[in-house]
Chain A
Amino acid sequence: MTRTSTYKRLYGKDGYQKIRDSRIFVVGAGGIGCELLKNIAVVGFGHVELIDLDTIDVTNLNRQFLFKRKHVGQPKAVVAKEAALALNKDMTIVAHHANVKDDKFNIAFYRQFNVVINALDNADARKHVNRMCLLSNVPLIDAGTNGLRGNVITIIPYLTECYECAAKPPPKTLPICTIRSVPSKPEHCIAWAKYLYQRVFGETDDTNVLSDITLASLYEKDADPTAVAHALVRKLFRDDVIAARDTVESNMVWSFGPPRPVELGDDDVIKPVEITTLSDTEVLAEEMNMRAFVEAVCVLYRMAFNHTGEKASPLSFDKDEPVGMAFVAAAANLRMICYKIDPITIFDARSIAGSIVPAVSTTNSMVSGLAIHRAATLITKGKPTSLDDPVLRTNYVTFFGAKPLQAIIPLGANPACQVCGRKATGMHCTATSTLGDLVDVLEKKLEDDDVAIEAGGTLLWTGDETAARKRTLVDLGIADSHTINVTDSDDKEYVLVALYRSHGPIELDEMIGYDPAPLDDDDEGLEMKRQPEPGSDSDVELEESDGEIEVIEL
């Protein structure tokens, strides 16, 4: 049988035609993205757009099988597109090597798709796509994995719980004073080393907890990078440590006794060591850490600074960039040695510094199969209207529990959700539409002559600014896809999404979503509603990986 006859048989003639005519947006061309794209090509969905900001890294090759070693450094979306087209020439694929948060991926862009599939590894992008799907009223399938666990969640705007309906646990925090003065764990020293990297080589940032340390020698004209590196070692791991040790502060409690400076005289020379020769898996001795640190500083210094001592091209830390990672690992290890904490390997340092999420191809394979299966059902059967619809079950893949695959009825949308708990709609307008036009349309639509309008944090209308009526929306800074918040006389909130067109009056689409709750109403029923459904396994959590450690001021 050909592809067409096999799948026509399984999905039915009409069903398969819908699949052939469908348009899917895949967000992320990583581990899950590769698996999705392969399945999309083999099943024969009609049109796919694929987006990924990343280029291919060597650590991707254990699971992102559309990429080969020769592709390292190339854009993921582009390489994945070519690989998928080789599998199926009948489909069309558009690759976007871009950030999904870019303005050009606006509401109109999302509205062209039957379904959006998330194949992401971070909460921030998930939140963004979630919001865009809600505003464009497009179903979202979120596929996620973390090591041997994975999940597939279907979000039907305003019917099921959205990604932001439930409060997420707050990120882990480290107190600033511990990082700056009294480290007792490798995590504290890694956090310190990352701040140091940012402070020395990154954009100037006054919120950096090390922004007050002085690094005069860095900014000298024609500075010798080796001399800069030596000066840094002497300052950070000798002089500052001696100063800390000799400062008598009553509340200073050393975890492991007073710190000790590295053994280094003013004239001692540290011989740099090639970064590529460092062991990833063995703990480096004090001297080797110093040598690695000096080499890393020299390399990074030449990249970030020009010969006048100006930081012309600031760097940003990336755990997979070996020199930066060596800098952070060596600096952290030297600090651990000074503070009598057992140093760690570069492998482990990378884990802590990069909040790395473990990933294996098997779990990706499973969740992608489930996600494509679900996309096919949504496309062939249409959007579900009830939470009980089996296609909406949240699937958890876990190999620790008693059941390898669980299917759980999702919670409904939370009326108090900041994101989907209010009505939203598209607002069609032109470059000449004025605020007055909008006010008239809204007053008619909401049957309320006391609305307030706000956009981008500025209050545009509260009912008496007659002069403002003549200003165009463009003038007021409202671009395509921007959102406008409207509050009526009962304090109910609505969201309008600006959709520009070439001509015609201002028109509002049908409002979708919840009848908005008044702003400060404490919904007592809410607590009850957020309880998990019977049969759900409370041990299973949504997978996400924004484990970046946040620093709190104590």
Chain B
Amino acid sequence: MAVESSSVSKYDRQIRVWGRHGQEALHSARVCVLGTHMAVLEAAKNLALAGISSLVIVDDTSIVASDVQTNYFVTGSGREYIGEAAVETLIRMNPDITIEWIHADPRSYVVSDGALAGVDVAILEDDATLVTHLDQAGVRSISVQTNGFFGYIKPRGKAHVVLEPNRPTPLDLQLKHAWPELIAFLESQPTDVEEEDDFLRIPSIVFLHKALTAFEQQHGQSPSHPDMAALRTMLQGFHRDWSEINVEEALTMVNTQLLKPATPSFPAILHHQTVDALVRKTGFVFGPGVDDKEVLFWTFAAALKAFMARNHRVPVTGKIPDMHGSTEIYVNLQRIYQRRAASDRAELHADMVQIAQSCGDSDRIRDVVADMDQEILTLLVKNASNLTVVSFSSSVDVDPKQLAKGGVTPTVGQQAILWASSREFESHMGHVPGLSAVESDVVGLSKIVNSIVERAVGESPSDSPCMPSNQMIREFVIGGHCELAPTCSVLGGIMAQEAVKLLTSQFVPFGGQLFYYGSPEAPVMDVIE
């Protein structure tokens, strides 16, 4: 869906984060909200503000007196149900999108016919039944639970392809793969000029190229990390009587521009079975649950693999870093790189068309490739070294036994233990800890914590780094499933952020479970994969 110019100004500040194409992806996104936990509503608020297409809230909880003070979505509404009041609040926040309330119990709603059709992401208060059902229905979900200062977020569902990881990556001049036009241009730049002004006009890339070719001639091979000092000495040889800024700049670029392996290793994703299948199996067909974004991703990945196998390098992006020196030379360089980028893009495009022809799913791939404009291809090339697929854990909860493997931040391991203990407590006692008497629940929860740590980690609980302190257990019990505003702000922000990542296919979401403990001392947060 195109972004109209009136919304461009309203969404201006975020379009500067994810671009107009990212905003367009949001403008066609449908999000289903199951339940009205305050963190879920916070996430819904953030998504509504971000300008998604539609938001459906499914809930049948009545407003009780306490909500009016502690849940700002219902304050002052005078309504009977939380969902009804929340929808009104959300519509006031963004009147330009579709927001609906469906008066139903989420558990019965999700099993009704067509309820989840067209839903891109569901956000909900964690519930094993709902999460499992959404998983089976092929709907990605992000669920949350809080307990006073504690909370967690877990994304579930099928693997997610990231077209634009947008990881900060240094611009690669690809000097080890210089092509005739670039070589001819760099060699036509003299470095033995008389006048100092003329010397300062030479951009650093010229020195880098000369040092590289001199090294290769001397040693018969291209430099690697141990050759750092030798290359630096060669570059320092260009200095005249003082530390000229262009030579200094070249010295800072040795590591990023000259020491990379001559043949880059394939990004891990290019070894994925889908890539192999696209290239080798003539009858390969994408499954029905695969959307166009994924078809594009895998087709590009397969084309990239063919490109890299042929050229032993990643494609040129066309961007070069700022350099001191003459603008004229810089502009010429820019054009040389842009021409190369255009021919690399054309090569990749031809590969994609070729894959469409040879593969069983040719119509589907051909349509996707035909819809891909130069802008998208440029973005794919920019992210070529970082293409990523994120898999989400398939188990409903983090199994405390995973903690025994180590590598988990202790405070986060402790939180995972507390939540697991709380679930066990609830199944024994019929209520979450803290809802009856605090003192007896502290004792009850402590016992369960001890036995879980012993079972899971196989250590004496007192020695285990995953053993929560008495203070932490007490705070957990006091939390008693309270929806604390600052905790919900933090978690609702993260949930919405993860949803935006899924919807735009930009930035890399986390695949594991995120635990947050807004300890009265210092907040901690980490993901257990």
Contacts and interface: CB of A to CB of B under 8 A. Distances in A.
Contact of B492 (A365, A395, A405): A365
Contact of B5 (A253, A280, A351): A280
A255 B14 contact: no
B42 interface: yes
B435 to A, nearest CB: 11
B489 A62 contact: no
A399 interface: yes
B95 A3 contact: no
Contacts of A469: none
Contacts of A403: 525-527
A198 interface: no
B284 interface: no
Contacts of A184: 327, 331
A48 interface: no
B108 interface: no
A535 B94 CA distance: 41
Nearest to A279: B5
B354 interface: no
Nearest to A83: B72
Interface string B311-349: 000000000000000111001000000000000000000
Interface in B476-516: 478-480, 482, 484-494, 496-497, 500-501, 507, 510, 514, 516
A370 B523 contact: yes
Nearest to B480: A9
B66 A69 contact: no
A92 B100 CA distance: 34
Interface string B156-168: 0000000000111
A142 to B, nearest CB: 16
Given A1-B70, A147-B16, A381 B520 contact: yes
Interface in A31-57: 35, 38-39, 41-43
Contact of B525 (A351, A357, A359, A405): A405
Interface stretch (A110-118, A307-315, A372-380, A440-448): A372-380
B69 interface: yes
A380 to B, nearest CB: 7
Contact of A380 (B76, B488, B520, B527): B520
A373 B486 contact: yes
Contact of B45 (A5, A6, A361): A361
A253 B328 contact: yes
B374 interface: no
B69 A2 contact: yes
A180 to B, nearest CB: 15
A23 interface: no
Interface stretch (B46-54, B123-131, B464-472): B46-54
A232 B489 CA distance: 52
A405 B69 contact: no
Interface residues of A, number: 71
A148 interface: yes
A86 B524 CA distance: 32
B493 A405 contact: no
Given A58-B9, A365-B493, A148 B17 contact: yes
A43 B486 contact: yes
Interface in A148-188: 148, 182, 184
A313 B175 CA distance: 57
A9 B75 contact: no
Contacts of A255: 327-328, 331
Interface string A456-474: 0000000000000000000
A63 B13 contact: yes
B485 A362 contact: no
Given A58-B9, A365-B490, A376-B486, A358 B14 contact: yes
Contacts of A256: 331
Given A10-B479, A359-B14, A369 B93 contact: no
A360 B72 contact: no
A292 B3 CA distance: 23
Contacts of B493: 361-366, 369
A393 to B, nearest CB: 5
Instruction: Tell me what chain B mostly uses at the interface: helix, strand, loop, or mixed.
Output: helix
Nearest to A402: B527
A87 interface: yes
B115 interface: no
B193 interface: no
A148 B507 contact: yes
A62 B10 contact: yes
A395 B168 CA distance: 21
Nearest to B526: A403
A366 B66 contact: no
Nearest to A392: B522
A256 B49 CA distance: 44
Contact of B524 (A68, A147, A407): A407
Nearest to A1: B66
Interface in A243-258: 253-256
A514 interface: no
B149 interface: yes
Contact of A62 (B3, B14, B72): B14
Contacts of A372: 485-486, 489
B507 A369 contact: no
Interface in A332-362: 347, 350-351, 356-362
B521 interface: yes
A226 interface: no
A62 B51 contact: yes
A65 B519 CA distance: 27
Contacts of A350: 12
Contacts of B20: 281
B478 A9 contact: yes
Contact of B70 (A3, A86, A399): A3
A382 to B, nearest CB: 12
A182 B514 CA distance: 53
B69 A3 contact: yes
B523 A395 contact: yes
Nearest to B518: A373
Contact of A369 (B17, B45, B167, B489): B489
Contacts of B327: 182, 184, 253, 255
A116 B485 CA distance: 20
B11 interface: yes
B117 interface: no
Contacts of B11: 62
A391 B521 contact: yes
A62 B49 contact: yes
Contact of B168 (A280, A373, A380, A400): A400
A364 B331 CA distance: 40
Nearest to B520: A377
B387 to A, nearest CB: 16
Contacts of B489: 35, 39, 365-366, 368-369, 372
Interface of A: 1-3, 5-7, 9-11, 35, 38-39, 41-43, 58-59, 61-63, 65, 68-69, 86-88, 147-148, 182, 184, 253-256, 279-281, 347, 350-351, 356-366, 368-370, 372-373, 376-377, 380-381, 389-391, 393, 395, 399-400, 403-405, 407
24 contacts: A6-B70, A7-B484, A41-B72, A42-B71, A58-B9, A62-B10, A68-B92, A68-B93, A68-B95, A86-B75, A86-B76, A280-B5, A280-B9, A281-B8, A362-B493, A362-B496, A362-B497, A364-B493, A365-B489, A403-B526, A403-B527, A404-B510, A405-B516, A405-B526
Nearest first, the 8 A-B pairs at minimum CB distance are A369-B489, A365-B493, A390-B522, A369-B490, A366-B493, A3-B69, A390-B521, A405-B525
